[in-house]
Structures are given as structure tokens and as C-alpha cells.
Amino acid sequence: MWLIRPNWETVYRAADARNLKEEFAVYRLPIWALYLVGFIKILLASALLAGIWMSNLVVPAAYGMAVLMMVAIVMHLRVRSDSFLKAAPAVTILCLCLFVAL
């Protein structure tokens, strides 16, 4: 999402947002939060991949990503006009991260 499709429209974006910037605006978050979250997600995803060779990175990275996904779920639920389905990708990644970490 963050590297490949930041400007693509998906059915999972909050409200009527067409890209990540609009989605963060729906959540009433400042623009710097977009860049901070993006940096952290890319860093954690890279650590998960690096965990193939350095196994000590896997558990902390998986827990970190799980925390981000929990926040993402809460943010989706705060948009009252949205269905829970819009949080489905975050729920899925949360479950996968917890499976990997535990």
C-alpha cells in the first residue's frame, strides 16, 4: 500500500478518500502523521523481511506491526459512516502478525 499504491483508490479507504493523504484527512490527522506512519510501516515490514536471515527481528517487528494495525482498526471504527469491512485488511494483517509473533 505505502510503496506500490499510495494514490490508488480502494474500497477499504475511509469515507470517500481516494488516496492515503485524503484518508488521513478523514481521520483528522496532520500530514506529518502520514509520513511518520508510512516510515514506521516500511521499517517494520523491512524488519519482517530481514527476519528471514536475522530471526531475532521477527517478534519485535511483528508486535510493532500488530500495534499499528490495532490503531488502524480503531481509526476505521471512528469513521461512523464506514462499515467494519473497511477495516478487514488491518484485521487480517493484525491476525497474521500475532500468529507470527506468538
* 8 A C-beta contact, residue 55 and residue 47: no
CA distance 18 to 31: 16
pLDDT digits (tens, 9 = 90+) for 76-87: 988 877 778 888
In the chain, what percentage of residues exceed pLDDT 90? 62
pTM given for the model: 0.84
Question: Please, which pLDDT band fits residue 5 given cuts at 50, 70 and 90?
Answer: low
Nearest Cα to Cα of residue 47 among 100, 102, 7? 100
Question: Please, which pLDDT band fits residue 92 given cuts at 50, 70 and 90?
Answer: very high
- In this model, does residue 4 exceed pLDDT 80? no
